[in-house]
Amino acid sequence: MKDVDGPMMLETVLGLASDREWHDRLHALEHEGGLETIAIPEADAARKRMRVTTDRGRDCAIALPREQTLTDGAVLFHDGRLAIVVRIDGAARMRLKPASVDDALRLGHWCGNLHWKVVFGDGVMDVVLDGPRERYEARLVDLHELASFEILGAK
Amino acid sequence: MTAARVGIGGPVGSGKTALIEAMLGVLAETGIETAVITNDLVTDEDAERLRKGGKLAPDRVRAVQAGACPHTVIREDPTLNMAAADRLEADYPGLDLILLESGGDNLASTFSPNLVDYWIFVIDVAGGDDIPRKKGPGILQANLLVINKADLAPHVGVDFPRMLAEATEVRGGSAVLPTVCRKGEGVVEVVEHLRREVLFK
């Protein structure tokens, strides 16, 4: 579905699907077939502008003000008959568990030099994967000689 | 609608400034209001070049000096460039596009999504046809890969169709466009691509 006049412009976040005021309205529209979703990879969620297609093939262009952020459930359009909501698709993660504090320092320094996005947990560090897991594991091969750590869930 | 922010990165000498120079004419003809931020190491060399080119009012070209590795100000801490872009938008409320040119860097160079909405990585055939096969993050992650100086291919022993095909393959089919920026070839296609993907006009 492509509008001959260009994409449907989505220029502001109206609210969140989880908010009470939006939940009921969206629920009703969903039953009437008026709810469309835009799936955005987690790695792209920080972007303010992008050309996207809804799950029903509608050609859209997101252009948010700098102070607004795309989050899971962000409502970008609603006119009573149609609503468009964002779904952020979480990226795969690779969990790393260092054996000691010394190993954790070495591991953190190494991953930092690789500019990897990480999320810290209790004694572990999750690397947010923006590409095949094998590519990330290959970068850790040489580190095994310098630090003791486990790659949890590794193939 | 705020101005789109588009990053342009790539190795030293690949043609980043030349691409901008060539794009400015096409953008003006299309009625797209543009400004540029250049990043050099410790000078304003690229900004001065664009100002002397006369295709933009001199004040629409701003310079940010990285003072260190160029990627530090487009990825690790892009604050200086974000502030410069904010100032441009405040000074020129009708802007459609701000081009942010990184200093010449290596194949690992990438832009923070907090700084730009879209980014182009520029390589050139004279740098070697093996560059796409090396799969640097700049090659893989850029929204658009431009391969410049296509006309030099026969002079440097490059099989250009193969280089294009390999670039497209390593990028999983994401956009790759050839250019000869000094002659203006392929530049209209780059601008058209930006209009569709990020300018929306």
pLDDT by residue (tens digit) across A38-50?
A: 999 888 898 999 9
Rg (CA), chain B: 16
Distance, in angstroms, between B197 CA and closest chain A CA?
5
Give the residue with greater pLDDT, A119 vs B145: B145
Can you give the pLDDT at residue B68? 82
Q: What is the dihedral of CA B20, B21, B26, B28, to 10 degrees?
A: 100
Please give the pLDDT value at position B102: 95
CB contact under 8 A, B117 and A50: yes
Tens digits of per-residue pLDDT, A94-143?
Answer: 999 999 999 999 999 999 988 888 989 999 999 988 888 998 999 999 99
Structure token pair of residue B160: 């250009």
Give the residue-averaged pLDDT of B26-50.
93
Measured CA to CA, the distance from residue B86 to residue A120 in angstroms comes to 32
Domain boundaries, chain B: 4-195
Distance in angstroms (rounded) separating the CA atoms of residues A34 and A75? 13
Mutate to test the interface with A, among B198, B199, B201 (most CBs of A within 10 A): B198
User: Tens of pLDDT along A48-79?
Assistant: 999 999 999 999 999 999 999 999 999 999 99
CA A82/CA A28 separation, integer angstroms: 11
How far apart are the C-alpha atoms of B3 and A145, rounded to whole Å? 48
How big is the CA angle at B174 (ends B172 and B175), to the nearest 5 degrees?
Answer: 145
Q: Do A63 and B114 touch (CB under 8 A)?
A: no
Average pLDDT over residues B151-158: 97
Tokens of B44: 């304003």
Dist CA A151 CA A124 (whole Å) = 10
**Right CATH for B4-195 from 3.40.50.300, 1.10.10.10, 3.30.70.2520, 3.40.190.10:** 3.40.50.300
User: Whole-model pTM?
Assistant: 0.88
Task: Inspect the interface and report whether the beta carbons of B200 and A46 lie closer than 8 Å.
Answer: no
Using a CB-CB cut-off of 8 Å, the residues of chain B touching A60 are none
- Shortest Cα distance from A152 to chain B (angstroms)? 25
HSE toward the beta carbon, residue A81, CA cutoff 13 A: 0
| The pLDDT of residue A154 | 54
DSSP H or E segment with residue B100: strand B97-101
DSSP string, B147-182: EE-GGGGGGTT--HHHHHHHHHHHTTT--EEE-BGG
**Mind listing the domains of chain A with CATH numbers?**
8-89 (2.60.260.20), 93-152 (3.30.70.790)
Rounded to the nearest angstrom, the gap between the alpha carbon of residue B103 and the centroid of all alpha carbons in its chain is 10
Q: Do B198 and A131 touch (CB under 8 A)?
A: no
